[in-house]
């Protein structure tokens, strides 16, 4: 019972050759709570909700940045909803900036909605419907990559 001999363990150890599991559509989102601060990149095949502070790039299927959340890094997802603060590039098929959103950075989108009261400082560029947003293909837009016809960054503060 208390011997020092080695025993086989029943603990699960993931194999490096095991394929990544994709969550079901109805699965609950992964949540970064308000009292959590993460420094590093996040990647999820499912839904992700940020209520805390993240310093790093984020990739997921759907991403929600909560009202009190602060994100410093690029975001890439099929759908991004921003209610908090984001400093970095957003690349998504659908982007929604809530009235409490504060975004400093470029937005690359197919569909963009900005509610009255939202703050945006950066370039907005509509993606062709033929080019799909891939969560695995995130690279911040460099100054040389920006179209020259965009001029200076967009600053929008929509008041109701």
Positive/negative CA dihedral, 21, 22, 26, 28:
positive
Residue matched to tokens 């965009």: 150
Q: Is the dihedral of CA 111, 129, 140, 27 positive or negative?
A: positive
CA distance 111 to 116: 17
pLDDT by residue, tens only, the chain of 160 residues:
555 555 544 444 444 444 445 555 667 889 999 999 999 999 999 999 999 999 999 999 999 999 999 999 999 999 999 999 999 999 999 999 999 999 999 999 999 999 999 999 999 999 986 555 554 454 444 444 444 444 445 555 555 5
* Residues with Cβ within 8 Å of residue 82, at least 6 apart in sequence: 65, 90, 95, 96, 97, 98, 101, 103
Closest CA to 119 of 145, 83, 91, 147: 83
pTM assigned to the model:
0.68
d(CA 73, CA 129): 25
Q: Are 56 and 73 within 8 A, CB to CB?
A: yes
């Amino acid at each position: 019972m208390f011997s020092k001999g080695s025993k086989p363990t029943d603990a699960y150890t993931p194999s490096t050759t095991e394929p990544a599991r994709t969550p079901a559509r109805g699965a609950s989102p992964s949540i970064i709570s308000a009292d959590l601060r993460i420094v590093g990149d996040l990647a999820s095949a499912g839904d992700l909700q940020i209520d805390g502070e993240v310093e790093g790039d984020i990739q997921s299927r759907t991403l929600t940045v909560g009202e009190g959340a602060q994100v410093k890094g690029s975001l890439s997802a099929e759908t991004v909803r921003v209610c908090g603060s984001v400093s970095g590039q957003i690349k998504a098929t659908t982007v929604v900036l809530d009235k409490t959103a504060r975004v400093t950075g470029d937005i690359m989108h197919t569909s963009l909605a900005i509610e009255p009261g939202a703050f945006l400082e950066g370039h907005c560029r509509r993606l062709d419907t033929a080019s799909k947003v891939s969560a695995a293909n995130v690279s911040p837009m460099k100054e040389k990559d920006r179209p020259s016809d965009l001029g200076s960054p967009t600053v929008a503060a929509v008041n109701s």
